[in-house]
Each structure stands twice: as structure tokens, then as C-alpha cells.
Structure 1
């Protein structure tokens, strides 16, 4: 473990933010401090908003939607704002990355790469704003013409998580805005800074007042109130399946608002004996360690063909032992800090459960002592059986469970033996084998001989209890629209009442 060297990157005093409603900054009546999970020093002061503040934001978003200051613009005009916002992200890339590191604990190199992805999201959404369209039906006979219109659904509530506060915001917000909707965003209370910085960037890009609003506070109070709010037409939530289920109940008990949900995952990485084992091991190490494993698409279940299982676990363990864990401001760091104390305890608890239930630790399995901050070694378990807690539950940390299989059918059955279906990966040089697995494993995102690849052009989302709906790409704009069928009669009506 390298020595922590925070240097000059830490703020001398916490940066204080307001919340953003109707194009203006508002002071919070109450504030709470966020401490850096890597350095244990206060870095931001964020408003603890009230439900009255939320009501103010929803009313502002409703006015902005109803008077058509945004939805009434052409797709090209909305695209121009989104492209200017992308340029704003470029100019403030280092600033945004810094606050992601300070509040979340992720490595600065990773945070900077995420901002590049966020810029691509805005540019893709700008193109999608121009391409969004309905359809026509010229097959209804000479007297009738039909068409479908795609219209923005209205005011959207967006609740984002603490693991990718800016990336997930940018995989949602620009596509929602491209559709013509207005937004009320509630970021995770421990990682709110960059969502508030985006308010500045969008304002400078020319977005009208009331179109993008940010209300900060706890999930228990503000998040729940946003989910239940009758002034919200659609809610997009990213987080745990348990909280996603509560969103369904809240929607049913309020105004039956539409939901977009990206929830938990227990994602398989399937390695066949004919795979390039060095490549697959590197992919597996990256897949479980990226963002310290606090990633809904982390490949947390290794399913490896038995003849090469022992060799593969040795190669993988060597890879994982070389991962650089430490100060997230060190550009060489690959794994930073665990974002919250609660999550830190959860991960360590699952490591203890794995040992108690009979799994064998191949490498890792402990917290790293640094004098400050929260760090956990990348951990590989072998001898895991499907009934174990570490095999079934989403741990949300750098903990990988290894299973062995003998046949293709067994590999597919193991991969599908979960309530989740968010992502999956297969490693094989046999295209027939790889394609069979790709078509039969239940997952919304799939990678062949790679992992966590792709861009915002393609849709994301899950199967089964991993969520509803799709984000990013053109589908990610259509998700926030509703379809209206229109019929136009041409010529004279054939009368129903004739005399």
C-alpha cells in the first residue's frame, strides 16, 4: 500500500454550495458537511433541502414545461444548447474530476476518463434531439392518413447514486433534455457537488430557467418525496433493487408515474478453456476492481471452465495483487477509497460471510490500514457454491466469487442463476460458443472478449430485477416520450346519419 500523499488537491476549507431552482441559486437553511472518503477531511457543504424546496423546484419545472420554453423549441435548437454544454464540460473537466475524487474517492485518472464519456453523452444526445421523430401510415386507404407523434412526457424526477454521481447524471440528463422534458434532479447526499456544477454549465450554455433544477438532501426525505410527488410525470432512479421496488410502490400509490429503473446486478464473466487466459484475467481483474467494485455492472461472478480453472485463478490472483490501491489523487492509483462507511462495513461483512460459509480466499480479503480513509484489497474467492451469500447478493465492492463448470449448458445455467440481469461477459475464441452464450444469458448488456466497453450511442438497461427501460442512445431519448396516434380524414365524410 503506497503512502497517502494528498498534496495540494485538498481544499483548505469546505466548498459551500446552494441548491438550484428556476435558474437561480438558493441558500439552504440547514447544511451538512461531506468528508473525503480517502482523506477524512471536510470538502463540501451541501444544503439539506426541505420538501417545500422540492415543491418549489417541481413548480418551476412544470411552468417551464407548460409554457413550452424548452419543449417548443426545434430539435436543432435543443441540440445547440447540449453541444454548448459539452464544451462547458471540456473547459471544466479538471474541476469536475477533482470534486468527483474529493466526494467519491475514485482515482483521478478514472474520474477524468468518466468526464470524457460524459462529454460524449451530451454530444450523442444533441444528435438524438435532431433525429427524434414519429412515423406515418399511408396504408389506411385514400380517405384516411395516420401518423404517430413522439411528445415529451413532461416533468422528470431524476435520482442519481453516489458511485457514479456525474457519469450516471450525464447518461440520463442530456437525453431527457433532448426529448423536451424538464428536470428535477436529486443527487446522492454524499456526492452532490458535480450535479450542482452542471447547473452552472447548463445555464451558461443557454438552457432556459426552470428546465434543470437540483434539490439536495437525503434519500429518505427528499428522494422519497420526489418519488411520491404528483407533479412528477416520470421518475428515473438508479440504485438498489430494494429501493427500486419502493419506487414502484410509491408510483402506484400516487399518480402512476412512469418509471425508469437501473437497479442491482450480480454479473457473470464466463471464461472458456480456449480463451486467451491472460486477456480474460486482465478483464476479470478490471471488471471487479473498477470504481472499487462499487459498480452495478461489476463482473462479480467468475464462471470458469474446470480444466483451466486452477491455472486461471493463479493468473488472476497475480493480476489482482498488482493493482495499485491508494491516494486517489495519485495518477498511478487504480483503486481509490470506499465511498461511505456503511458500504465499507457491508463489503468487509461479506468477506467474513464468505470465509464462514466455506469459500477459500485466493488473494486479498482485508482492509488496508493507511491512517485515514477506507481502502479494501481486491479479493478473490474460490470454491464458491451457488447457495453462499457472496454468490447471490450484490456486494458492491472489489470481491469476486469463482465457480467452475464442465459444459456450455452448465455455464449458461450458472450465469442465469440470479434474480438480476444487468450485464455479462464471455471469453472464448470459438465464435459459435460465444454467440450461443450471448444469446442465452439474460442480461441487458453483453461483452465478448472485452468488458465495460462501448459508448453512449448504444442503449443500457437490465433484464429481470435489474430494472425497467433503457437509457442512452436514441432509445434513451424515446424512453422519456409518449406516443400519440393521429388520424386525418381527407375528402368528404361518409355520414352515419343519412336521413
Structure 2
């Protein structure tokens, strides 16, 4: 493995933008060098796109959509192309997983699993392309019928985050393409590699030029230009609530449709009658997967008072078996934090929590760790008004609060501005369903954590965003409805009568 890393460092992988059907560098030749968070060495080089690059991408998308070649193509043909891309992703899983592990520091086995799940999303979207349909009304009287057509919304901008690069893009891009849209994609400047590889696959699969354009670059100018452009009809953005607000403000220019998956502060609600071993494992998974850099992370533990001490002790014991280290080590479950800024933010929140009166159960101590590795941390004695109970930390930090009964548990679960996900642990199915109905969240897991399926939609309540991705709702998100009124036979009545 060391020999492989030395080769990569000596010759980092270079990527190109995919614009108007061509693989190309940035027009001015600028590049972004991405260092591996775990190894501190340059592993990827992307084009640093400028305003002229993004304008070219948007124009290519606009022209391709207005020409209608893809927008009106038979759904079965669109499905075939999307299935071809899914197969290419599977055939290149080792290369794609390597890129993601180098750029994100998530364990290699985790990257492989995410790549394969991304392929299944492309397969699902391919099937959805065949089934997308409208409606009709045959009950409007003897001379009237109506059709309700579902049409692609137009040019879609997709601004993707750094934490699940190919996976989150695959929750959006194939569904937009399946609907017949043309697309401009901006991946994160930290993790652009696998998104740019998709450009190669789309070109090889025969996607018409301009239908999909993928370009690397910084949020300003690339992301901002997508948000501001009057030629872009919709933007799908995944990221922080703060940036989501800026997207909403920018959308006012041409009243863009927005699909936003934003921040989260998701609760894991643990009742005394749960299967404790399963709950402990699920809570740790929900809090620490992807180093806690996950918008649906179960970062708040709400545990029934009667089992709180035992449960916290069990959590701390199990964390000893969770290895933090090099993502290429098969034993590692926690890799490095994405960058220094995020690392410092996590460290700062732990200090704030202790200052506010939280007690450190385990973790938080960086002694023995070099670089950007942060140990999983549990903070107990947390009060709902504390910053660590309200604000998204985006790291492997779990805050613990207790409740006396179900009503208090639901109140605590709903006590933040977010509503992206929730996890419920109980053997009482009636209790679980009651909580599912009353907790404000776009997704709820009962006695499981983070299981995902292409058939099921995702999205948030409250300040966690709007719109839904994946499933049949995901493809409908990228469409508009048009009603066609049809009169049959001669018009017997006239609005303007003969004098």
C-alpha cells in the first residue's frame, strides 16, 4: 500500500471538465491541487474553472435542452444510456473507490460500498425513465378531454457536497437526465475526482453533447454563476443551511425552482425497552459514519433516564473497538477529517460544549493523533439550549440528553431548527409509529440506522431544506406539469354573438 501511495504522490491523477461533449481543461489553464486529508500530499489535480468556463457549460446545456433532442427522446433510449453508465461505474469501482478514499479519507471498503450504491441509483433512474407519465381526464363533458403532461423542467444546476461525492450526485443527476433535463454539475473543490470521471462515462455512453456538463471549481465563481444565471431553470443544492439561504436569495432572479438538502441535527431516540446491543451499535453508526461528516448523522442521543448511565457506559466501551487511522488500513473505521478548517471547527465545538457545562464521557483528547484525525467523542449532561445541542458540528461528536417519557422525547427531538432525519430504538411498535408520526423529519429509521434504498425519497423538514430526491418522487422533482384542454367537434356556443 505504501508503494502505491508513493506512486500516486509522485504522479497525482489529473482530471478534465466535461463541457459540450468534450473533455477539456479550464480555459485559462488554472488548476486546483487536492491534498489527501489522511496523508497530506497532493493526490488529484482538477481544472480551476472560471466564469468563462461555467458560462460555456450553461450555454451548452441551454442549447441542448432547447433543441429537444434529449428532452423528447424516447424514455427507453434514455434508460438504456443510464443503465450503461451504471455498468461503467460497477466496472470501475476499484478506481473510483481509490479516488474517493484519497480525496475524502473515508475507509476504502466504505468508498467501494458507496460507489456500488451509486450504480444502483443510476439503474433505478433508468427504470424510472420508462415509467414517467402524466394523466388524463375523460369526465369533462361530451366535447372536452384533457391531458396532463409531465415535461422536463429545463436546465438544472446541481451543486454537490464533499462528504459523499459520487453518491449524492447520483441521487440527483441520473434522475434529472431520466426526466429529459440538461444539466450543469459543480462538484466540491475538495472531492471533484469521481464526478469528473462521470463525464468520461457519459461521453463514452453516447450522451448528446451539452446534455450534461461537469466542471470543477470554487463556489465563487462557478457555483454562484449557476445560481445567478437566468438560463438555469432549477438548482439542486446539497450543503449547509447558510449557503442554502444564499441559494434561495439568488433564485429570485428568474424564480428558479430549488431542491435543497441542507443541515441536520438528527436525534437518536432510545427507549428503555430497546435491544440495547443493537441500539448501541446503531447509535454509534449514525453518529460516526463518514467521520460524522454526514448531514443525516444521528448527532443527538436522547436516551430514557432509567438506562442512561448504563447506555453511556456501553457506548464508551464499544468506542474502544472503533479504530481511527489510515483509511487504507482494513481495520480503520474512522479516517481523517476533510480539511483543517473542519477539524478546527469540531475541536472548537467540543471546547464550547465543555465550557457550557457538558461532561466529557470519552474522546476529545487529540493526544497521540497526528494530522487531521479526530477521535469519536461523547458529551453528556447536555441541555437543549446549548450550542452543541442546536448547531451542526459535522464531526464525530455525539451529545447526550435524557428524557422521562415519550412526550418529552418528542419535544426534545423537535427542539432544533432542523428536520432531516431521526432514529428510534424501541421494541414497542406502537410507540415507534407514534414517534414517527410526531417527530419532524424527512426520514425516520426504526431499529436501524442509515439503511438506504433507491426506491425511497429523501429530503428535509424545516431548515433542513425542501424538495425530495430519489424514488419516483425524485424524477418528478425535475419535471413541470402542463395541462392540455382539448375540445372535440364543432363549437356550438360563441363568446361573441352575432348582432
Check whether TM > 0.5.
yes
Partner of 1:41: 41
Three-state SS of the structure 1 residue aligned to 2:258 is: strand
Partner of 2:355: 356
Report the Cα offset of residue 67 of structure 1. Answer: 1.2
Is 1:323 matched with 2:322?
yes
Partner of 1:415: 413
Check the 8 A contact 1:304/1:405 in 2, yes or no: yes
Report the Cα offset of residue 494 of structure 1. Answer: 2.4
Distance 2:2 2:331 in 1: 13
Is 1:151 matched with 2:151?
yes
1:475 to 455, 473, 476: 473
Task: Return 208-217 or 5-14, whichever deviates more.
Answer: 5-14
Check the 8 A contact 2:15/2:197 in 1, yes or no: no
Call closer, same or farther: CA 1:34–1:206 in 2, change over 3 Å: same
1:399 to 393, 397, 405: 397
Partner of 1:100: 100
Please give the per-residue CA displacement for 1:282-302, whole angstroms capped at 9, x wherever unaligned.
Answer: 000111110000000000000
Partner of 2:13: 15
Please give the per-residue CA displacement for 1:85-139, whole angstroms capped at 9, x wherever unaligned.
Answer: 0110011001000000111111101100001110110010001111110001111
Task: Return 390-399 or 359-368, whichever deviates more.
Answer: 359-368
Distance 2:365 2:227 in 1: 38
Partner of 1:281: 280
Partner of 2:379: 381
Three-state SS of the structure 1 residue aligned to 2:163 is: coil
Partner of 2:297: 298
Report the Cα offset of residue 431 of structure 1. Answer: 0.9
Is 1:334 matched with 2:330?
no
Three-state SS of the structure 2 residue aligned to 1:435 is: helix
Check the 8 A contact 1:85/1:205 in 2, yes or no: yes
**1:427-446 matches, cutoff 5 A:** 427-446=425-444
Three-state SS of the structure 2 residue aligned to 1:375 is: coil
Distance 1:248 1:367 in 2: 39
Report the Cα offset of residue 366 of structure 1. Answer: 2.6
Is 1:220 matched with 2:220?
yes
Unpaired stretches in structure 2, ≥5 consecutive residues = none
Partner of 2:82: 82
Check the 8 A contact 1:97/1:108 in 2, yes or no: yes
Unpaired stretches in structure 1, ≥5 consecutive residues = none
Distance 2:206 2:332 in 1: 37
Please give the per-residue CA displacement for 1:381-440, whole angstroms capped at 9, x wherever unaligned.
Answer: 110001111101000000000010001100000000010000001000011111100000
Task: Return 461-470 or 328-337, whichever deviates more.
Answer: 328-337
Distance 2:390 2:245 in 1: 18
Report the Cα offset of residue 331 of structure 1. Answer: 2.1
Partner of 1:127: 127
Is 1:257 matched with 2:253?
no
Task: Return 33-42 or 213-222, whichever deviates more.
Answer: 213-222
Q: TM-score when scaled to structure 2?
A: 0.97
Three-state SS of the structure 1 residue aligned to 2:18 is: strand
Please give the per-residue CA displacement for 1:263-317, whole angstroms capped at 9, x wherever unaligned.
Answer: 0000000000000011000000111110000000000000000000111111111
Distance 1:495 1:141 in 2: 14
Check the 8 A contact 2:23/2:199 in 1, yes or no: no
Distance 1:405 1:285 in 2: 19
Partner of 1:308: 307
Task: Return 219-228 or 441-450, whichever deviates more.
Answer: 219-228
Partner of 1:459: 457
Alignment coverage as a number of residue pairs:
493
Three-state SS of the structure 1 residue aligned to 2:423 is: strand
Check the 8 A contact 2:17/2:199 in 1, yes or no: no
Distance 2:314 2:290 in 1: 22
Check the 8 A contact 1:6/1:327 in 2, yes or no: no
Report the Cα offset of residue 212 of structure 1. Answer: 1.2
Distance 2:215 2:89 in 1: 21
Distance 2:382 2:327 in 1: 32
Report the Cα offset of residue 220 of structure 1. Answer: 2.5
Distance 1:389 1:6 in 2: 41
Distance 2:42 2:113 in 1: 25
Distance 2:290 2:17 in 1: 27
Three-state SS of the structure 2 residue aligned to 1:417 is: coil
Check the 8 A contact 2:37/2:372 in 1, yes or no: yes
Distance 2:146 2:301 in 1: 51
Distance 2:436 2:466 in 1: 20
Check the 8 A contact 1:6/1:39 in 2, yes or no: no
Distance 2:405 2:2 in 1: 50
Report the Cα offset of residue 44 of structure 1. Answer: 1.1
Please give the per-residue CA displacement for 1:310-353, whole angstroms capped at 9, x wherever unaligned.
Answer: 11111111112211111111222111110111100000000111
